A = this chain, B = another copy of it.
Amino acid sequence: MDDLRNSIRRFTEERDWEQFHSPKNLAMALSVEVAEIVEHFQWLTEEQSQNLPPEKLARVREEIGDVTIYLTELAEKLGIDLLEAAKAKLEINSKKYPASLVKGKAAKYTEYR
């Protein structure tokens, strides 16, 4: 993770792109890259989405790479540790959706969200 952060920083500095990478702009770029993942899945059935052909999987992997890059950069700009933020949020979600109440129920699940 440290490695990745350093590589991203170097990449951005070498291109003098820091000036474009405000948190506002990075949030936009993040949403654009996520849409490129969604694009691969939009006409597939859920089942097909579980069995991507190798070539498509390779392209989804690239989009997931881009999303991870922008997410890492945005978090760093805001002084947020990605993994810590995820763990803390999982704690919150665990209390918000107690297993005893929402277990296996799509309706409940949807409703609770």
Contact = CB atoms under 8 A, between A and B. Distances in A.
15 contacts: A4-B83, A15-B99, A17-B104, A17-B109, A20-B106, A23-B49, A24-B44, A27-B40, A31-B38, A43-B113, A57-B78, A62-B89, A65-B87, A65-B89, A67-B71
Contact of A86 (B4, B43, B45): B4
B62 A50 contact: no
Interface string A1-20: 10110011001001111011
Given A1-B1, A85-B62, A23 B50 contact: yes
Nearest to A37: B27
B25 A42 contact: yes
Interface of A: 1, 3-4, 7-8, 11, 14-17, 19-20, 22-25, 27-32, 34-47, 49-50, 52, 57, 60-62, 64-69, 71-72, 74-75, 77-78, 80, 82-83, 85-90, 92-94, 97, 99, 102-104, 106, 109-110, 113
